[in-house]
Structure 1
Amino acid sequence: MLLVLMIYSTVVVLALSVPLALLVGRERAQRFGENRASAATFFADLSLREDESGEPRLLESVRRYNDLYGEGIAVVDRTGAARALSGLDLTRADVQQTVAGALRNQRGDLPSSLTPWSQSTVLIAAPVGGGTQVDGAVVLAASTDSARRDVAFAWMVIAAGALLILATVAAIAVALSRWVVRPLTALSSRVHSFGGKFHDQLPIDEVPTTEPAAYDGPPEVRELSRAFDAMADDVEAATAAQRRLVADTAHALRNPLAALRIRMDVLGMRIPDSAHEVHLRTTVEVDRLSSVVEDLLVLAAAETPASSRTIGCELGAVTTDRVEFWSSTMTAAGIDVRLDEPDFEVGLRVAIPEDDLIRILDALLSNATKYAGEGAHVEIGYRTLGTDAMVWVADTGPGVPADELPMIVDRFFRASTAHGAGTGLGLSIVRALTERTGGRLEVSARRPSGLRIELRLPTTDS
């Protein structure tokens, strides 16, 4: 940022100071030319008056001018012969050329601009007479030393002012850049510290080994980007390690729980009647713990990123099959189920594995069977919605309080209206499976009562 500000400030200062310096050179050259042209014209007029009056004042004036200003001057007649000469060599080629031009009524070329390294002497000519009658010429070897010193001094003042402005701008830019970059630097340090804690706590085989990406831009932003990438890799690895830990723990618990359940069944055949109630409650808790372990395994698998190549399935066929599977169970529970299957959506395929879609529909229909209640109506259907497919399951049960709707997809959360056994992981699994394939889950209340769950699944041709 400091580099950008300094480059911009330098360009602006140069854009202002360079034209100003050139303007000073042109203005001083104009004053110099006007002054010396006036002097040459004065001697041309004096030569004419001397011809008319016959008084020999021209030579004296020429010598006095040379003594006073140190500039050579020559007045010649129409043949080029010297009438008055002081400090100027008429035999020089450039002087002869200037005289010839003046005798042709040409006043010579005055400098348009002066610089400290311009020529030290400039020949200025003026014809004696005017119109078509030129009786002679005046040639003045004007010194530019004073004018060049003035220009050099003015340029030094301009350069000093430009440097002062740049120094002021640099001080402001340093303060401004530090003020702007300070949060980035602090954030970068914080990200380094935060990511380092994850990195140090990860197992060796979990530490990311990917090469950092190359970034463009200011150093502070590049450093923050690299730190953020490193932290993101560490967090991703830590999340994967956490999922693996949950899966490994659940898998390790499954076999002991199965063995415990078998022993509980064996024990139930030998316990007295007085302990039968306690045994039954213990068995229910073991079954509930086994369900939690199984759901944790499914959730860990659902939260694992899907492969780049996903084989889709036919939405209508899977939905019809699951409704037929659950219809007897729902009928036994006193629940009426209806499939809203449009005729024109035959062959609609969604980009989700068939096993995942079956697990999603089973979880939703299982929840409806458990919590909708006797006499409720359950509707399941699907439609095409743009490039996605929308699947919904709606019931007319007691529903969920409005303040609890956003939380029912969280792990282990159970609504206050839910009764009976449950782990609180069903909708978490549904959301994880849906989002893994790029879909979206929405939960809303149905009016006047009930719950509606919608799934947006991307469609596919394969």
Structure 2
Amino acid sequence: MWRRVLLVLVAYSAIVVLGLSVPLATTVSRERLQRFTESRTAAATYFADLADREPELRGTELQQAVERYHDVYGEGVVVVDRTGTTRASAGLSARSPEVAAAVSEALRNQRTRISSGLTPWSPTSVLVTQPIGTGTQVDGAVVIAASTAAAKRDVARSWAVIAGGALAMLVLGSLIAVALSRWTVRPLTALTTRVRALRAAIVDHVPAGGESRQHDPGDRRRSGPPEVRELARIFDAMADDIETATAAQRRLVADTAHALRNPLAAVRFRLDTLGLGLSGRSLESHRRTLVEIDRLDRIVEDLLVLATAESRPPGSSTGVSDVAAILAERHDFWADALEDAGMSSSIALPAESARPMLAAVDEDDLVRVMDVLLSNAVNHAGAGASVEVGCRPEGARIRIWVADTGRGVTDDDLRRVTERFFRASAGNAPGSGLGLSIAQALVEGAGGELSVSAGHPAGLRIDLGLPPADPLAHNDS
């Protein structure tokens, strides 16, 4: 791919160089032609003035001036009267067809105009004419066979300097283009190699039977350099493989959790039966075993809920919930637990006259999320903390929060509290470490977002942003 980038950069550099050098060369040619024309026109005007004053001068003075000019500059001159008769000449004959045509134009009071630029391949000489006389009275003509050799050499020398500079600029631009193209393409080439290797590693671990999405063959991957198209193709295939592997992982977790529920229930039943005949230290061991079985049962249930929630695409929830009613009901439900833990609680709801806030989330999911957040406050805020539950409309979202003034977590732990099985370093309460992960998955499955931040002045604050539901759809249902 770097060759294509190099070609584009070199072509662009060539266009820029040509865009600068060609106008400069044209300007030099025109400027040199102007100086050449002015000098020869001045000489022709001088001879025309001499010829016009001939009666006042000696007859040989005009001829001498013409001969001196021819000797010094090597250019032929001829002066004729109105009838075409030669009055003075040196190195040029009025009988030449080209000179006769130039004389005819001058006798019609037409002066020489050289319109084209002067180039190294221009004619070696040009005829410069000047009428003799003033106004409309033409008494003759002066013709000079002006040599362009010196002017062409000057133009050729200037053009050589310009061409050399342009070539140097082009070479320098090409060197920069080579370095720039390699520098630009190197990360893309390395990324293609790594993505190809990563995809090969993923394919080795993707379960058989996984189906990849079929992409539209007419999409953007059909355009652009082959390396970019190849990278896009490999990346799309890798994304499909990751999606397939992730879906398989979620199915495995869900299937495993579902398969463990019945054996755990059977073990619990047998332990309950076994505990009827125990006493003393055996009974205490039996109680601890039941605690661990209950904990394992909660983890299995949480894994099943988490796998189910994560398998939903964002915004796929079709339920509608009255946010204020659910918050009030869950606050009342957890009030005793909060009081037993030595905490105070409050709830901030919109005024009763306000229209009900309906969120596009299943009621069971919102109830589960609020239970997770309030349980988290009960287990981790600590005695003496206050807990506030509230909601309000906020732009295109319904904002729900649970904030406490408890111990909070460190800044490092704050970024990880929604990770699976993560437990804060300062926490010692029981739990599976899946609660906030489940809450986040349920909220995102409804098209919302969950954020965790430090409370003010202390503690932890968890905010939910849920999409509002359509009241008309809710009434129709």
If the length of structure 1 is used for normalisation, what is the TM-score?
Answer: 0.81
Aligned equivalents of 1:374 and 1:75: distance in 2? 123
Partner of 2:272: 265
Alignment of 1:34-113 (within 5 A): 34-41=38-45, 43-44=47-48, 47=51, 52=56, 55=59, 73-84=77-88, 87-88=92-93, 90=95, 92=97, 95=99, 98-103=102-107, 105-111=109-115, 113=117
Contact 1:315 1:350 (8 Å CA) reproduced: yes
Measure the CA separation in 2 of the matches of 1:15 and 1:162: 10
1:148-207, Cα deviation, whole Å (9 max, x unpaired):
454345434422331222012211221233234434433443333334322332234446
For each residue in 1:278-308, what CA deviation from the matched residue of structure 2 results, as whole angstroms up to 9, or x when unmatched? 2222222122111111101111122224355
After superposition, give the CA deviation of every residue in 1:226-266 in whole Å (9 maximum; x if it has no partner).
66555544444433333333222222222222222223233
**Counterpart of 1:310 in 2: which secondary structure?**
coil
Say whether 1:423 aligns with 2:423: no
Match of 1:438 in 2: 448
| Number of the residue aligned with 2:250 | 243
Partner of 1:214: 220
Who is 1:172 aligned against? 176
**How do 1:16-415 residues align onto structure 2 when only pairs under 5 Å count?**
16-41=20-45, 43-44=47-48, 47=51, 52=56, 55=59, 73-84=77-88, 87-88=92-93, 90=95, 92=97, 95=99, 98-103=102-107, 105-111=109-115, 113-119=117-123, 121-130=125-134, 134-144=138-148, 147-148=151-152, 150-206=154-210, 208-211=212-215, 214=220, 229-270=236-277, 275-306=282-313, 308-311=315-318, 312-326=320-334, 338-342=346-350, 343-369=352-378, 378-394=387-403, 399-402=407-410, 404-415=413-424
How far 1:274 moved relative to its partner? Answer: 5.5
Is the contact made by 1:105 and 1:130 (CA closer than 8 Å) also made in structure 2? no
Instruction: Name the stretch that deviates more: 387-396 or 220-229.
Output: 220-229
Q: How many percent identity over aligned positions?
A: 52
Whether the 8 Å CA contact 1:66–1:87 is kept in 2: the answer is no
- In 2, the alpha carbon distance for the partners of 1:58 and 1:446 equals 110
Comparing 98-107 with 244-253, which one deviates more in the overlay?
Answer: 98-107
Q: Does the residue aligned with 1:36 lie in a helix, a strand or coil?
A: helix
User: Matched residue of 2:317: which SS?
Assistant: coil
Q: Structure 2: any 5+ residue segments left out of the alignment? A: 472-477
* Higher deviation after alignment, 176-185 or 345-354: 176-185
Amino acid at match of 1:264: L
Structure 1 unaligned blocks of 5 or more:
none
One-letter code aligned to 1:366 = S
Q: Does the C-alpha gap of structure 1 residues 346 and 78 become closer, same or farther in structure 2, counting only changes over 3 Å?
A: closer
AA partner of residue 251 (structure 1): H
Deviation at 1:77, TM superposition (A): 1.1
Cα pair distance change 1:66/1:389, threshold 3 Å: same
C-alpha distance in structure 1 between counterparts of 2:65 and 2:414, whole Å:
110
Instruction: Give distance in 2, aligned partners of 1:375 and 1:154.
Output: 91
Contact 1:88-1:141 at 8 Å conserved across structures = no
Contact 1:408 1:427 in 2 (8 A): yes
Report if the CA contact (8 A) 1:364-1:393 is conserved: yes
Whole-Å separation in 2 of the counterparts to 1:344 and 1:442: 31
Q: Say if 1:243 and 1:345 are closer, same or farther in 2 by CA, change over 3 A.
A: farther
Kept in 2: contact 1:121–1:142 (CA 8 A): yes
> What SS is found at the alignment partner of 2:372?
helix
Q: CA deviation at 1:382?
A: 1.7
Residues 420/112 of structure 1: CA separation in 2 closer, same or farther (3 Å cut): closer
| Amino acid in structure 2 at the alignment position of 1:320 | A
SS of the residue corresponding to residue 139 of structure 2 reads: strand
- The structural deviation recorded for 1:385 is 2.5
Report if aligned partners of 2:317, 2:361 keep a CA contact under 8 Å in 1. Answer: yes
Deviation at 1:425, TM superposition (A): 1.4
Amino acid in structure 1 at the alignment position of 2:203:
H
Distance 1:272 1:13 in 2: 99
Q: Determine the C-alpha separation between the residues in 2 that align with 1:124 and 1:289.
A: 111
Q: Cα distance 1:53–1:361, how it changes in 2: closer, same or farther (>3 A)?
A: closer
User: Offset at 1:82?
Assistant: 3.5
* Contact 2:29 2:117 survives alignment (8 Å): yes
* Distance in structure 2 (CA, Å) of the matches to 1:106 and 1:113: 20
Q: Which amino acid aligns with 1:302?
A: A
Secondary structure at 1:115 match in 2:
coil
Deviates more, 1:213-222 or 1:262-271: 213-222
Q: In terms of mean alpha carbon deviation, does 166-175 or 104-113 score higher? A: 104-113
User: Does the CA-based 8 Å contact 1:372-1:395 persist in structure 2?
Assistant: yes
Shift of 1:338: 4.7
- For 1:366 and 1:45, the matched residues in 2 are separated by 116
SS in 1 for 2:432: coil
Q: What's the TM-score once normalised by structure 2's chain length?
A: 0.79
CA separation of 1:134 and 1:391: change in aligned 2, threshold 3 A: closer
